[in-house]
């Protein structure tokens, strides 16, 4: 079992497979970064798998593949199958922008993927283009359909932005409700990589938009999820609100992150990280596990969001995987 320095059980590994992306979302990566991590610096799937096996043996029961855009990695389905074959009952999920899913959702499901969280910020082609930097909506919607048809469990993530897509909160909620998918509205997290003019929406304002049409009631948090759940009184449809600024889910934080280059990050908001790359490439898995234990021993209690000094996070979401 993996326990961090504050006594929290850690059983959730988020793996960023690449920092590269085929979108340029205004809130994440409006410009192409000055330089990408060279491909040769990425951990190969073979090396990643060596670490994943050890992490599972140590007590990881939930793995999420993210990025950047994880579907850009060739042989993604083979990597998923390697994990699935090693531990079929693992909660194996991925977060994606959905653009390439149309052609691969079936293969990912067949390989052993169970759940997908797909980002969808607008149902209007021109607004989707404005946010993502290119014409994406048709492919994303086709990707969502393909994922549902393949039998994957799908959640939708939306980041509401003032004067951009705030008028679509109810439309997206209803789009998800009609298809049996849970939507989570994510408060925009200010960060130095995002477009400087963006204004996010507060959770209470997001809820106000929904209350204009529906009566809602609180459910609360489930397990270690960052989402606070609500229910529509009419028909019981459940949706979530994620406020990444908050600390209240840090008490039950169960996660550790691995970047595509092999850095283990103890917390979404901290720059400290330790690399397992050399150890894994040398085949020294015991050392990689020892590094993971050290990172967890130093895992912070909570994010520093409330401290003025870190009003804007310097960590790129495309690097940590969100
Ligand atoms: N502050 C904070 N926010 C997080 C953390 N993990 C996820 N989030 C936020 O939640 C958003 C959605 O995350 P997802 O990748 O969909 O994954 P998840 O919510 O862990 O997934 P589920 O297993 O479906 O609950 C991220 O983009 C972040 O904004 C975390 O550890 N800390
Ligand atoms: C970094 S992306 C990686 C996976 C995939 N490319 C995608 O967009 O779903 C993971 C999640 O982070 C969210 N995200 C990115 N930048 C954010 C920001 N500044 N504030 C809040 N959420 C953000 C995205 O909306 C997405 O749901
Ligand atoms: S949020 Fe996802 S899709 Fe958008 S730029 Fe970031 S990594 Fe790419
Ligand atoms: S902010 Fe850090 S401590 Fe809090 S939930 Fe996220 S990763 Fe865990």
Least confident of 26-35, 253-262, 306-315: 306-315
Q: Is 176 annotated as a binding residue?
A: no
Q: Is 119 annotated as a binding residue?
A: yes
Residue 58 host element (H or E): helix 45-58
Q: When comparing pLDDT for 224 and 49, which is higher?
A: 49
The residue segments making up the domain with residue 260 are 12-158+251-320
User: What is the per-residue pLDDT across 86-133, written as a single tens digit (0 to 9) for each?
Assistant: 999 999 999 999 999 999 999 999 999 999 999 999 999 999 999 999
On whether residue 243 sits in a domain, the answer given is: no
* Contacts for 184 with CB less than 8 Å, ≥ 6 apart: 117, 155, 156, 157, 158, 227, 239, 240, 241, 242
Residues with CB under 6 A from ligand 1: 64, 66, 93, 95, 117, 155, 157, 186, 225-227, 242, 244, 255, 268, 303, 322
On whether residue 263 sits in a domain, the answer given is: yes
pLDDT of 152 > 90? The answer is yes
pLDDT of 46 > 60? The answer is yes
Question: Residue 39 is part of a domain; what is its CATH number?
Answer: 3.20.20.70
Q: Is 27 annotated as a binding residue?
A: yes
What's the confidence (pLDDT) of residue 305?
A: 65
What's the confidence (pLDDT) of residue 32?
A: 85
* Pocket residue to mutate for ligand 2, from 14, 21, 28, most atoms within 8 A of Cβ: 28
Query: What is the band of 85 on the pLDDT scale with cuts at 50, 70, 90?
Result: very high
On whether residue 183 sits in a domain, the answer given is: no
* Contacts for 46 with CB less than 8 Å, ≥ 6 apart: none
What are the backbone dihedrals phi and psi of residue 268, each rounded to the nearest 5 degrees, phi first? -55, -30
Question: What's the number of domains the chain is made of?
Answer: 1
Q: Which candidate, 189, 195, 200, 199, places its Cα nearest to that of 315?
A: 189
Cβ proximity of 185 and 158 under 8 Å: yes
On whether residue 142 sits in a domain, the answer given is: yes
Give the chain's length: 322
On whether residue 75 sits in a domain, the answer given is: yes
* Pocket residue to mutate for ligand 2, from 64, 100, 159, most atoms within 8 A of Cβ: 159
- The C-alpha atoms of residue 41 and residue 90 are separated, in whole angstroms, by 28
On whether residue 102 sits in a domain, the answer given is: yes
What's the confidence (pLDDT) of residue 74?
A: 94
On whether residue 17 sits in a domain, the answer given is: yes
Q: In the predicted model, what is the mean pLDDT of residues 280-287?
A: 96
What's the confidence (pLDDT) of residue 314?
A: 75
On whether residue 205 sits in a domain, the answer given is: no
Answer yes or no: is the C-beta of 228 below 6 A from any ligand 4 atom: no
Q: What is the DSSP string of 267-288?
A: STT----EE-HHHHHTT-HHHH
Average pLDDT of the chain is 94
* Six token digits for residue 247: 């600390």
* Six token digits for residue 195: 């477009």
% of the chain with per-residue pLDDT over 90: 82
What's the confidence (pLDDT) of residue 313?
A: 67
Cβ proximity of 291 and 55 under 8 Å: no
pTM of the full structure: 0.96
């Amino acid at each position: 079992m993996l326990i961090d320095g504050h006594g929290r059980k850690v059983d959730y590994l988020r793996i960023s497979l690449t920092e590269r992306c085929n979108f340029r979302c205004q809130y994440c990566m409006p410009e192409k970064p000055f330089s990408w991590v060279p491909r040769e610096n990425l951990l190969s799937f073979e090396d990643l798998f060596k670490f994943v096996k050890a992490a599972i043996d140590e007590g990881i029961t939930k793995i999420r593949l993210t990025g950047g855009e994880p579907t850009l990695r060739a042989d993604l389905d083979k990597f998923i199958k390697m994990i699935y074959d090693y531990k079929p009952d693992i909660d194996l999920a991925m977060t994606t922008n959905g653009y390439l899913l149309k052609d691969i959702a079936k293969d990912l499901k067949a390989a052993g993927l169970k759940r997908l969280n797909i980002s969808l910020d607008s149902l209007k082609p021109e607004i989707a283009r404005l946010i993502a930097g290119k014409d994406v909506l048709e492919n994303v919607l086709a990707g969502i359909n393909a994922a549902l048809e393949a039998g994957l469990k799908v959640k939708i993530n939306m980041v509401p932005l003032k004067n951009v897509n705030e008028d679509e909160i109810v439309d997206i909620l209803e789009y998800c409700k009609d298809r049996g998918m849970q939507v989570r509205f994510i408060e925009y997290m200010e960060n130095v990589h995002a477009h400087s003019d963006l204004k996010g929406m507060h959770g209470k304002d997001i809820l106000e938009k929904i209350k204009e049409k529906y009566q809602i009631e609180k459910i609360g948090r489930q397990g270690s999820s960052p989402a606070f759940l609500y229910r529509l009184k009419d028909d019981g449809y459940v949706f979530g609100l994620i406020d990444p600024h908050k600390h209240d889910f840090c008490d039950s934080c169960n996660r550790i992150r691995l970047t595509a280059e092999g850095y283990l990050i103890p917390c979404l908001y901290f720059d400290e990280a330790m690399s397992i790359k050399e150890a894994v490439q040398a085949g020294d898995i015991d050392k990689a596990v020892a590094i993971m234990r050290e990172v967890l021993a130093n895992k912070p209690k909570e994010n520093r969001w409330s401290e003025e000094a870190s009003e804007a996070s310097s960590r790129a979401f495309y690097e940590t995987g969100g």
